[in-house]
Each structure stands twice: as C-alpha cells, then as structure tokens.
C-alpha cells in the first residue's frame, strides 16, 4: 500500500467530490430523521497543504488554491465547502472530517481506513466527535457488512486509492453488493479516468447491478502527460436538487480550475 492522499488532498478531484459529498449531506439533513454515513476509504481526515507532499505535486494549489476569490452568491454546498476548507488556514479537511462536522447528534459516521499510520491519524481527527467511529480494516467488505444502517437512511462514500490492478472490478462488485443490501441509500463513488474504455467498462459493470437512478459527474483539467487529469463520480440515487446544485457549483468553479465539468444520467433521471 503506497498511496498517500496527502499528495493529492485539495486537488481538482477532491474539490468536486467534497462539494458533492456536502450537497448530499445537506439534503439528508433536511429531514429530522437520523442518517448514517459510511466512508469506505477514509484517509486521515486532515491534510496540511503546506506539507512537503502537497508542495511536491502542487495539486492543492491548482485545486482548492484557485478558489480563493469565490465569495457570496453561491449554492449552499459550495459555500459550506469553502467555509470548511478555509476554517483552519492551510489545513484541508478530508471526507471523514467534512462528514463529522456536518452530522447532527442523531446521525452516525463510520470511517474505515486500512493503512495503520493513516488510521492512527484518522482516530485522532475523529476523536472530538462522539457520533463518528474510525475503524481499521478493508473498506470493501466492511462497508457491505455495515449495510443497511439501522437508520435506513444514508450515504455510502467509496473513494479507493486505485493502487492495485483489480481495483475497478472489486469496486464495481462492492457497489453492487452494497446496493443490493441497501437499495434506497445514496452512493457516491469516485474513480480515475485514464481511458474512456476502462471507465465505460466500470460504469457498465456497476449499472449491471440494476440501479435505477445513476448520475455521472466528470471533471477534466489539462495536465502534463503522465498525470491524472480526469476523474468521475457515480452518484446512485442522487437526491432531488443535487444535479442542479452541482451544475451551479460547477459553473462557478470550472473557470477557476480551468476544468470541464459535466453531468450525465446513466440511468433514470430526477
């Protein structure tokens, strides 16, 4: 296991993924009923953007670093994202901290991380939050085991590192197994797009599970050859208003990131 999110935290892919995560959480909070969040590949939850790792790639500078001028008149998800990202100066919140910060007392977060060092830091990050649990383990089988959550409402974030060759297949199978156990849940699934054929094969594999509402969000930025400049998000059962909120956010951030951001229904629609 070599992947360290510290090199990539706050990059173009994180920006869009974290705005999407927040848009879903804000929707779930509209009802009083409790909800659960499962974060299958959580990372440490807090990233120092002034670190050597972040400086080495410059990815955060080309991502969250470009959004400094945004202020006022924004969709709530984008405004909340910027507020959380700016809260502690150069310290960037990862998905488990974003979720923990937005939960209400009745809601629950389970954040899973395999790498021992990252897990130790994750435990520390989540220690102030009584309704958030850090678990060390393999996020794929553990996520499926945790479903459906007792509250029967919630979000599953699957954000693996794609460091092993079979990762697309394991991810697709996990999404299908998870959805079979919790078909009404909202799923946010991140994947890199290195080739269109590979991405299409992956989304096809997921959709063969029979999901009826699936939105795909794609983001692409120009990068030097050999670097990842394109990624996707599969959103299964996106809440009402999610697509519009993402399109509105995209229209504000895309010009700053120099990115192309698109949304396409792969199954059903709103």
First and final CA of the chain: distance in angstroms?
39
Please identify which residue in the block is written with the tokens 């959709």.
Answer: 207
Choice between 198 and 270, CB closer to ligand SAM: 198
Least distance in angstroms from the C-beta of 159 to ligand SAM:
4
Paired tokens of 198: 């590979």
Please identify which residue in the block is written with the tokens 């299958």.
Answer: 40
159 a catalytic residue: yes
The region, left, alpha or beta by phi > 0 then psi within -120 to 50, assigned to residue 162 is left
Least distance in angstroms from the C-beta of 23 to ligand SAM:
15
Long-range CB pairs of 135-143 (<8 Å, 24+ gap) are: 135/110, 135/111, 136/112, 137/112, 138/112, 138/114, 139/40, 139/41, 139/42, 139/112, 139/113, 139/114, 140/40, 140/170, 140/171, 140/174, 141/174, 142/40, 142/112, 143/38, 143/40, 143/112, 143/174, 143/178
- Positions in the binding site for ligand SAM (CB under 6 A): 1, 3, 5, 41-43, 94-95, 112-115, 118, 138-140, 159-161
Choice between 35 and 140, CB closer to ligand SAM: 140
Choice between 133 and 183, CB closer to ligand SAM: 133
Euclidean distance between CA atoms 75 and 52, whole angstroms? 33
Choice between 87 and 270, CB closer to ligand SAM: 87
Least distance in angstroms from the C-beta of 81 to ligand SAM:
12
With CB atoms as reference, the residue minimizing the distance to ligand SAM is 94
Least distance in angstroms from the C-beta of 15 to ligand SAM:
11
Choice between 164 and 184, CB closer to ligand SAM: 164
List the catalytic residue out of 138, 159, 177, 200: 159
Least distance in angstroms from the C-beta of 8 to ligand SAM:
7
How many residues does this entry show for the chain?
A: 270
**Contact between 12 and 238 (Cβ < 8 Å):** no
- The catalytic residues are 159
């Amino acid at each position: 296991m070599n992947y360290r999110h510290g090199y990539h935290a706050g990059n173009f892919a994180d920006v869009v993924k974290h705005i999407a995560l927040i848009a879903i959480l804000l929707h779930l909070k509209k009802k009083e009923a409790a909800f659960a969040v499962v974060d299958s590949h959580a990372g440490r939850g807090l990233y120092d953007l002034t670190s050597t790792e972040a400086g080495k790639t410059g990815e955060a500078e080309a991502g969250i670093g470009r959004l400094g001028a945004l202020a006022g008149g924004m969709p709530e998800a984008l405004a909340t994202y910027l507020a959380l990202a700016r809260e502690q100066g150069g310290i960037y919140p990862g998905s488990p901290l974003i979720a923990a910060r937005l939960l209400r007392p009745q809601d629950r977060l389970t954040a899973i991380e395999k790498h021992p060092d990252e897990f130790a830091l994750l435990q520390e990050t989540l220690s102030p939050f009584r309704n958030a649990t850090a678990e060390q383990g393999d996020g794929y089988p553990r996520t499926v085991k945790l479903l459906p959550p007792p509250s029967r409402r919630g979000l599953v974030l699957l954000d693996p590192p794609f460091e092993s060759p079979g990762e697309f297949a394991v991810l697709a199978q996990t999404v299908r197994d998870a959805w079979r156990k919790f078909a009404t849940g909202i799923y946010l699934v991140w994947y890199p797009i290195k080739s269109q054929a590979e991405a299409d094969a992956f989304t096809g594999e997921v959709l063969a599970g029979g999901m009826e509402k699936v939105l795909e969000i794609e983001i692409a930025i120009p990068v030097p050859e050999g670097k990842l400049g394109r990624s996707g998000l599969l959103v299964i059962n996106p809440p009402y208003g999610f697509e519009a909120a993402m399109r509105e956010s995209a229209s504000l951030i895309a010009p700053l990131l120099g990115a192309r951001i698109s949304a396409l229904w792969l199954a059903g629609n709103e």
